[in-house]
A and B are shown apart, each in its own frame.
Chain A
Amino acid sequence: MNGGLRQSMAWLHTWVGLLLGWLLFLVFVTGTAAYFQDEITRWMQPEVHGQHNIDASAEGAIAYLQTHAANVEQWSVDLPGHRAVATTAFWKEKGETFAQWRDHSFLVDGHGQKVDARDTLGGWRLYRMHFDLYYLPVLWARWLVGLAAMFMLVAIISGVITHKKIFTDFFTLRFGKGQRSWLDGHNLSAVLALPFHLMITYTGLVTLAAQYMPWGVAAAYDKPTQYYAEAFGADEAPKRSGRVAPMASITAMIKQARETWQGAEPGYIFVAIPGDANSLVKLTRATDAGMDTRGETLTFDAATGVMHARPPARGGARETESVMVGLHAGRFSPLLLRWLYFLAGLTGTAMVGTGLILWTAKRRLQLPDPERPYFGFRLVERLNVATIAGLPFGLACYFLANRLLPIGLLQRPNWETNGLFIGWGALCLVAIVRPVKRAWVETLSVAAAGFLAVPVVDMVTTDRGLFVSLWRGDVLFATFDLVMLAFAGLFGFCAWKVHHRKDVVRAGSKKEAIA
């Protein structure tokens, strides 16, 4: 350890952290929200009632498919996880791609009845934005996110090695001291959740390892398809016999699957060439049924309901991979642990946010002319406002759009997402045109107003508003609205703090602010 090392590591941390910080902020915010993606989806589909019920859902979906899509290539039924209610099912006709599935997808509620809920992607959209971003080709987006994750891994390790001080500063948080406070906040949010940060970063890379590190497949296999066949089972499609055969009871197959998996539920049903005597049914174990999230797939003869031999068990490496991905996504997690995951995610968000602000706090003191900061400084300052206040406001807009857009709107889910970016973009404009301190106050206030509006609009536009939910004991809807109010309070508090902040940075200065 020497000065040079510390300096070059600090350089790396500062500049790469700055460049990737805004992206990491988005990744943390959407990822944290995605821990409640099923709950968000439920809130965004207030038309769906009933309780989680796998048997009723599966029977209802299959019955609907048998009546309305008897002679197609395949059926897919995405069963609800243990926190969800609705089932999404769809069919694929000959020659169609999976991209067209939304044209014939439908929703089944907890009673097994088809429901016409508003069209939305709910929490799933936020979950995908966590690594696919939006408006960008998915592959590029994932490379960008991977780069940010890799940097974060290096930043965490180098931080621990070089900054011995972060451990002597443990539990230290000094408020109202400008740069010192931001540094405390940055260190504290990094160190307190250090095991989480390490876990989440490494396992995050692992979730997309097949894209980031395809070289193992290239070295050991002639063709990638061979690897996928060995890893996930060869998927040779059954041949049509031309003979019609009714499908055996899906409930019986599910029962058999449960017995095979010691009680774990199926999460996904796939039926190839339904109605034919050679038709096959595949049941995949639910991703939330264990810490190892990659569930086994069982195959049944559709006509007889007889189960085929189980696929060979995974070895240690693939089991480890499955657990790592499971730990990252936390699907297995019971509710209490889920809140801890959420809290850790917020801590990560705070780490990135305070880091971004720290960059400016540190440099504000050294500005040659504080009245006219150089371009780069102003750019970072504005981007910070735009990201830290703007993105959360975008989320509020996403929820508001869900309630306010016309039900029959074409491409409704995409317009909900556009709503997110329109709201975010509007605050970006505010961040650019207003004096920086005013920009903070105004954008934070707008974000607070946005979150405050969510339960209000919910109350006006649905029959599941906060008071009704509390009265009926609808914990999920009530909690969602209360969390929105909590965020409104948080942003309002921040706006108030910035508004009343004396310019501690330049002690002795008579000027109110740069504004």
Chain B
Amino acid sequence: MMLLCLLAALAGFAALSLGMSRHQRDILGRILSAGRTKGLKIAGWVLLAVSWAAAIASDGAALGSVYWIGVLTFGALIVAFSVTRLSR
């Protein structure tokens, strides 16, 4: 469950970062259509919610939420460094 929490957070942040035009340009080399961008943003937020749900399912509402916030920081950090690596 904790692993799912982390994976969902990573995927969520990855989707959110690709939903930003700057990173689309830097990573993909082109700007995605408005519809796709919107889809990525929604997917990102949904995945973050899934991540939260997984944390709560694993450790309860209180402890799970604290875990989730920690995992968010960790996940966002990984995505940020990956974005830097992948940017051209």
Chain A residues near B (Cβ < 8 Å): 168, 170-175, 188, 192-193, 195-196, 199, 291, 327, 332-333, 336-337, 340-341, 343-344, 347
Q: Could you tell me the distance in whole angstroms from the C-beta of A29 to the nearest C-beta in chain B?
A: 18
CA distance A291 to B20 in the complex (A): 37
Contact call B73/A344, Cβ cutoff below 8 A: yes
A174: which of B74, B76, B77, B84 is its contact (CB, 8 Å)? Answer: B84
Q: Does B36 contact A (CB under 8 A)?
A: no
The chain A residue sitting closest to B21, CB to CB, is A168
CA distance A145 to B2 in the complex (A): 35
B30: chain A residues within 8 A (beta carbon) = none
Q: Could you tell me the distance in whole angstroms from the C-beta of B41 to the nearest C-beta in chain A?
A: 12
CA distance A188 to B80 in the complex (A): 8
A336: which of B2, B17, B23, B84 is its contact (CB, 8 Å)? Answer: B2
Contact call A340/B67, Cβ cutoff below 8 A: yes
Contact call B83/A172, Cβ cutoff below 8 A: yes
Q: Could you tell me the distance in whole angstroms from the C-beta of B18 to the nearest C-beta in chain A?
A: 10
Contact call B80/A291, Cβ cutoff below 8 A: no
Contact with A along B57-73 (1 / 0, CB 8 A): 00000110011011111
B69: chain A residues within 8 A (beta carbon) = 195-196, 199
Contact call B22/A340, Cβ cutoff below 8 A: no
- In the complex, besides A171-B13, A193-B73, 17 extra interface pairs with C-beta distance below 8 angstroms are A168-B20, A170-B20, A170-B80, A171-B16, A171-B23, A171-B80, A172-B22, A172-B80, A172-B84, A173-B81, A174-B84, A195-B69, A199-B69, A337-B66, A340-B67, A340-B73, A341-B70
A195: chain B residues within 8 A (beta carbon) = 69, 72-73
A192: chain B residues within 8 A (beta carbon) = 73, 76-77, 80
Q: Could you tell me the distance in whole angstroms from the C-beta of A192 to the nearest C-beta in chain B?
A: 4
Number of B residues near A (Cβ < 8 Å) is: 24
Q: Could you tell me the distance in whole angstroms from the C-beta of B52 to the nearest C-beta in chain A?
A: 12
A168: chain B residues within 8 A (beta carbon) = 20, 22
List residues of B (31-88) whose CB comes within 8 Å of A's CBs: 62-63, 66-67, 69-74, 76-77, 79-81, 83-84
A-B contact list, 18 entries, CB within 8 Å: A171-B20, A171-B23, A171-B79, A172-B23, A172-B83, A173-B83, A173-B84, A175-B84, A192-B80, A199-B69, A291-B63, A327-B66, A336-B2, A340-B67, A340-B73, A341-B70, A343-B70, A343-B73
CA distance A195 to B16 in the complex (A): 18
Q: State whether A347 and B77 are in contact (beta carbons under 8 Å apart), knowing that A170-B17, A174-B84 are contacts in the complex.
A: yes
Q: Could you tell me the distance in whole angstroms from the C-beta of A183 to the nearest C-beta in chain B?
A: 14
The chain A residue sitting closest to B73, CB to CB, is A193
Contact call B63/A347, Cβ cutoff below 8 A: no
CA distance A337 to B60 in the complex (A): 14
CA distance A12 to B68 in the complex (A): 32
Count of A-B residue pairs with CB < 8 Å: 65
B80: chain A residues within 8 A (beta carbon) = 170-173, 188, 192
A174: chain B residues within 8 A (beta carbon) = 84
Contact call B66/A344, Cβ cutoff below 8 A: no
Contact call B70/A337, Cβ cutoff below 8 A: yes
CA distance A340 to B83 in the complex (A): 21
The chain A residue sitting closest to B23, CB to CB, is A171
Q: Could you tell me the distance in whole angstroms from the C-beta of B45 to the nearest C-beta in chain A?
A: 13
CA distance A171 to B67 in the complex (A): 21
The chain B residue sitting closest to A167, CB to CB, is B20
A333: chain B residues within 8 A (beta carbon) = 66
CA distance A173 to B72 in the complex (A): 18
CA distance A343 to B73 in the complex (A): 8
Q: State whether A337 and B81 are in contact (beta carbons under 8 Å apart), knowing that A170-B17, A343-B73 are contacts in the complex.
A: no
Q: Could you tell me the distance in whole angstroms from the C-beta of A349 to the nearest C-beta in chain B?
A: 13
The chain B residue sitting closest to A291, CB to CB, is B62
Q: State whether A171 and B83 are in contact (beta carbons under 8 Å apart), knowing that A192-B76, A192-B77, A291-B62 are contacts in the complex.
A: yes
Top 6 A-B pairs, shortest CB-CB distance = A340-B70, A171-B17, A192-B76, A193-B73, A173-B84, A171-B80
Q: Could you tell me the distance in whole angstroms from the C-beta of B38 to the nearest C-beta in chain A?
A: 16
Q: Could you tell me the distance in whole angstroms from the C-beta of A181 to the nearest C-beta in chain B?
A: 10
The chain A residue sitting closest to B14, CB to CB, is A171
CA distance A336 to B72 in the complex (A): 14
CA distance A327 to B63 in the complex (A): 10
The chain A residue sitting closest to B22, CB to CB, is A172
The chain A residue sitting closest to B70, CB to CB, is A340
Contact call B72/A171, Cβ cutoff below 8 A: no
Q: Could you tell me the distance in whole angstroms from the C-beta of B70 to the nearest C-beta in chain A?
A: 3
The chain B residue sitting closest to A332, CB to CB, is B63
The chain B residue sitting closest to A339, CB to CB, is B70
B13: chain A residues within 8 A (beta carbon) = 171
Q: Could you tell me the distance in whole angstroms from the C-beta of A288 to the nearest C-beta in chain B?
A: 13
B16: chain A residues within 8 A (beta carbon) = 170-171
Contact call A337/B20, Cβ cutoff below 8 A: no
CA distance A344 to B74 in the complex (A): 8
A332: chain B residues within 8 A (beta carbon) = 63
A344: chain B residues within 8 A (beta carbon) = 70, 73
B70: which of A172, A175, A196 is its contact (CB, 8 Å)? Answer: A196
CA distance A207 to B62 in the complex (A): 20
A340: which of B20, B62, B71 is its contact (CB, 8 Å)? Answer: B71
B74: which of A170, A171, A340 is its contact (CB, 8 Å)? Answer: A340
The chain A residue sitting closest to B65, CB to CB, is A195
CA distance A188 to B78 in the complex (A): 12
B81: chain A residues within 8 A (beta carbon) = 173
